[in-house]
Amino acid sequence: MNNRYLFLCVFIYLLSLSPTGSAQIANDTLLLKTINIEGNKTVRNNSNKSVIDSLTIARSKSSRLSELIGQNSSIFIKEYGRGAMATASFRGTAPSHTHVEWNGLELNSPMLGMVDFSLIPIYIVDQVSILAGSSSLETSSGALGGTILLQNQPDWNGKEKVRLMTGYGSYNSFDEYIHIKVGKPSFQSTSSLYYSASANDFNYLNKLNADLDPATGNYLYKREKNRDADYKNYGLLQAFYRQRRASDSFSWKNWLQHSDRSIPQLQTNESFQSANHNRQNENSVRSVFEWRHYLPTGKLTLMSAGAFQNPIYTLTNPVNGLSDQEIIHSDAKIYSVVNKVTLNTRMGTFLHSTLGFESVWDKVIAANRNANQESTGYNKGRFKHSLHTDLDFGFDQHWRLLFTLREEMIDNRHQAILPMIRFSYQPWRDLPWVFSTSVFRNCHLPTLNDLYFYPGGNPNLKAEYSKGVEATGNASWNLGKSTLKANSAFFLSDIQNWIIWLPTFQGYWEPSNITRVVSKGVESHASFETQLHAFSLMLTGNYAFTITENRSSGAEIADKQLPYIPRHSSSFHARLSKKNCSVEWIWSYYSKRFTTTNNGNSTIHDYLYPYVMNNLELSQTFFYRKHRSEIICKVNNLFNEDYRTVLQRPMPGRNFQILLQYAF
């Protein structure tokens, strides 16, 4: 509770930064000369990019990135429990194959290779874009599944100076958020402060730990409480934006965060409740500086960024008459420094080019200490350099070619050359229907844990190489007051040296390479918006069919679906609004998922049942002069579905949340 008092104090301080005088400055008018922008309409070259609309992001401010992505795309989110780690499976690939960038800074841990989506609140995000498959090569290498881009942008025309949100939900859950914007037409400062916490002590029926009824022989399942699962997460995002004349813009974004959570026992655990206290906390600092210089025929961008993470994991057990004994203490310090330079030029009407260079330095200092005070770990770092070029050439107003080439170097050693070629075709000039096909090659490096973790690290691991093909189609129709958009994609990736961690006879896990894995499938998306008298209706649907199989010759697990990857997944989102009130329904479905590499079906530990999730949301907005207030009521898991996304990790049943928002 002390953190909430700290939050309130900082809130009062931030309010003092916006005196009445600054409001007058922000309302000044800057007169600009009228300019005309002319050009020929050409076919789009990036048909594998999708953007989650700003209204959906604004309505999801109290959610985590894992919820936003899972409910509005075909990406499968694997959650280890409410408030616990959440990872993404993009087109049937592993969590480390999904890259996440925040304003150009990659959030994937160089230690683990993945991103914990539960630690990224929507509070700090203004725009979310998804680059599927080959499109990820336009930003970086290694994202064999795809890339998720998180952006913060200045709102030069927005009139709101302060936004406040407070929320309370089931399991003693709190959400607090403050956003303050001050400045003038050439300078802007935005401050976002957030706090989220929950006891997370929901009840569930444990079907993995039961007693036997001696009279009937039936299993007696116990209803248990999700103990030792509390979490809290708070942080600050501070951004500065500066416009200098019409040729230069500067931005400096800083994100500080602290997370602290307890990891509950597995459902099969039969020890007493006070044993095995697992706790994980992390401090992180990220900073990105960017300068953009606009040229008569292009743009020069310089970006410099740094990140520091300090994750700490402890396992303790109580001892009678003594303080708790620390069995495991794991402390890691993770450093990253990134520098990028990009030159975009326009040569004529139909030719655009990009030339860029990126340098990344990562370092991990990992120390593990057991109960006997014996220490193990590693201290390793590496440099990664990347030179890339894009040529976007339009033959005419129907055909377009995009060619991307990346040269990758690791510690001054050549690693790979990664090409991508995409042909796009727009049959009709005045109808926005676009069809494209792509061929590409990608490369993903082992993480530092894959190579050096003790015990289990494998320094002989090979890098993963992927070659693939995609075919996509995009179409949209304007039918009076209605708009219909649809797109579909077929993808096929052949991945060599897939890295997987498996248990060994020595009692620990170890990574190794699978010779060949093939991922293929189909993704579809459709959206429909219309006006029905005084009502506005929005419908959005996603579907994915994914097969990811081990194709190593002679392997016992050949042609088997990889663990935790559903073959079928879909989602549906409906919003009906009238004036200042709205109702939303979010539906999602995931098919059966295997938990073992041989796809066993003999026990309930071998697979996870399919499940359907339903969420309902009601909102009402009130306006008074320049003030806006809103009340939002959410019902999650409307039909009280009993489901799991990871074996032995329970998920909550029906739960509620109420949010109050105020802006002026």
CB 73 within 8 A of CB 130: yes
Nearest to 608 by CA among 660, 552, 563: 563
Percentage of the chain surpassing pLDDT 70?
91
pLDDT at residue 663 in the model: 92
pLDDT at residue 102 in the model: 96
Using the Cα atoms of residue 96, residue 98, residue 100 and residue 101 in order, give the sign of their dihedral.
positive
Residue 21 pLDDT > 50, yes or no? no
Cα 348–353–356 angle (5° rounding)? 155
| Band (38; pLDDT cuts 50, 70, 90) | very low
pLDDT (tens digit per residue) in 434-443: 999 999 999 9
Reduced to 3 states (helix: H, G, I; strand: E, B; else coil), residue 565 is coil
Reduced to 3 states (helix: H, G, I; strand: E, B; else coil), residue 24 is helix
| Band (419; pLDDT cuts 50, 70, 90) | very high
| Band (64; pLDDT cuts 50, 70, 90) | confident
- The structure's pTM equals 0.88
CB 42 within 8 A of CB 230: no
Domain count, the chain: 1
- CB-based contacts of 607: which residues, under 8 Å, 6+ apart? 592, 593, 594, 595, 599, 600, 601
> Tokens standing for 622?
């009130």
> Tokens standing for 300?
């020069």
pLDDT (tens digit per residue) in 107-149: 999 999 999 999 998 888 899 999 998 999 989 999 999 999 9
- Look at 367-371, 497-501, 518-522, 534-538 and tell me which has the smallest mean pLDDT: 367-371
End-to-end alpha-carbon separation of the chain, Å? Answer: 28
Mean per-residue pLDDT over the chain, rounded: 87
Reduced to 3 states (helix: H, G, I; strand: E, B; else coil), residue 264 is coil
CB 70 within 8 A of CB 87: no
| Band (552; pLDDT cuts 50, 70, 90) | confident
CB atoms within 10 A of CB 291: 16
Dihedrals φ, ψ of 57, to 5°?
A: -65, -45
CB 220 within 8 A of CB 246: no
Query: Which residues make beta-bridge pairs with 77?
Result: 88
How far, in Å, are 102, 115, 217, 463 from residue 135 at the CA level? 17, 19, 57, 20
pLDDT at residue 45 in the model: 55
pLDDT at residue 31 in the model: 36
Dihedrals φ, ψ of 304, to 5°?
A: -130, 130
Provide mean pLDDT across the span 299-325.
89
Nearest to 466 by CA among 548, 401, 581, 571: 548
pLDDT at residue 155 in the model: 84
Q: Is residue 35, in this structure, part of any structural domain at all?
A: no
pLDDT (tens digit per residue) in 102-117: 999 999 999 999 999 9
pLDDT at residue 124 in the model: 85
- CB-based contacts of 102: which residues, under 8 Å, 6+ apart? 150, 255, 286, 288
Cα 251–69–546 angle (5° rounding)? 130
Structural domain boundaries, residue 247: 2-28+40-663
- CB-based contacts of 514: which residues, under 8 Å, 6+ apart? 497, 498, 499, 500, 550, 552, 555
Q: Is residue 463, in this structure, part of any structural domain at all?
A: yes
Nearest to 484 by CA among 541, 545, 533, 425: 541
| Band (39; pLDDT cuts 50, 70, 90) | very low
d(CA 51, CA 130): 6
d(CA 612, CA 644): 11
The more confident residue out of 241 and 213 is 241
Q: Is residue 429, in this structure, part of any structural domain at all?
A: yes
Chain mean position to CA 180: 25
- CB-based contacts of 641: which residues, under 8 Å, 6+ apart? 611, 612, 613, 614, 653
Dihedrals φ, ψ of 579, to 5°?
A: 55, -110
d(CA 437, CA 489): 9
CB 340 within 8 A of CB 302: yes
Residues 643/645/649/654 CA torsion (nearest 10 deg): -40
pLDDT at residue 622 in the model: 94
- Look at 26-35, 558-567, 603-612, 618-627 and tell me which has the smallest mean pLDDT: 26-35
Alpha helices in 361-407 (DSSP H): none
CATH of the domain at 241: 2.40.170.20
pLDDT (tens digit per residue) in 274-310: 667 889 999 999 999 999 999 999 999 999 999 999 9
Q: How many helices (H) and strands (E) does the chain have?
A: 5, 33
Query: Which residues make beta-bridge pairs with 130?
Result: 50, 148
| Band (25; pLDDT cuts 50, 70, 90) | very low
| Band (14; pLDDT cuts 50, 70, 90) | very low
Chain mean position to CA 235: 17
Chain mean position to CA 458: 28
What's the residue count for the chain?
664
pLDDT at residue 215 in the model: 84
Nearest to 271 by CA among 318, 312, 213, 314: 318
CB atoms within 10 A of CB 244: 12
pLDDT at residue 59 in the model: 73
How far, in Å, are 114, 308, 553 from residue 386 at the CA level? 20, 22, 34
- CB-based contacts of 394: which residues, under 8 Å, 6+ apart? 42, 43, 349, 350, 351, 400, 401
Nearest to 98 by CA among 490, 442, 488: 442
Residue 219 pLDDT > 90, yes or no? no
Nearest to 264 by CA among 95, 85, 509: 85
Nearest to 141 by CA among 387, 364, 435: 387
Provide mean pLDDT across the span 200-205.
91
pLDDT at residue 5 in the model: 42
pLDDT at residue 46 in the model: 54
pLDDT at residue 7 in the model: 42
Provide mean pLDDT across the span 541-565.
85
Q: Is residue 33, in this structure, part of any structural domain at all?
A: no
pLDDT at residue 626 in the model: 86
Residue 271 pLDDT > 70, yes or no? no
> Tokens standing for 506?
């020595």
CB 513 within 8 A of CB 543: no
Percentage of the chain surpassing pLDDT 90?
60
CB atoms within 10 A of CB 532: 11
Q: Is residue 34, in this structure, part of any structural domain at all?
A: no
pLDDT (tens digit per residue) in 222-237: 888 888 899 999 999 9
Reduced to 3 states (helix: H, G, I; strand: E, B; else coil), residue 68 is helix
> Tokens standing for 346?
């326009």
Dihedrals φ, ψ of 263, to 5°?
A: -105, 115
Q: DSSP string spanning 465-530? A: EEEEEEEEEEEEEEETTEEEEEEEEEEEEEEEEEEEEEE-TTSSEEEEEEEEEEEEEEEEEEEEEE
Using the Cα atoms of residue 485, residue 491, residue 497 and residue 503 in order, give the sign of their dihedral.
positive
